[in-house]
Amino acid sequence: MSEESPARALSEESPAPALSQWLQLMLAEIQAKREGEERARAEEARRRAELGACAPDDAARGAARS
**pLDDT tens digits along 8-40:** 555 555 667 777 999 999 999 999 999 999 999
Residue 39 located in a structural domain: yes
Question: What is the average pLDDT value for the chain, to the nearest integer?
Answer: 77
pLDDT confidence bin for 63, thresholds 50/70/90: low
Q: Does 1 map to a domain?
A: no
Residue 55 lies in a domain: yes
Following DSSP, what letter does each residue of 16-44 receive, concatenated? HHHHHHHHHHHHHHHHHHHHHHHHHHHHH
Residue 48 belongs to a domain: yes
Domain limits for position 52: 6-65
Total structural domains in the chain? 1
pTM attached to this predicted model: 0.51
Average pLDDT of 58-62? 54
Three-class secondary structure of residue 5 per DSSP: coil
Q: Which amino acid is at 58?
A: D
**19 or 61: which carries more pLDDT confidence?**
19
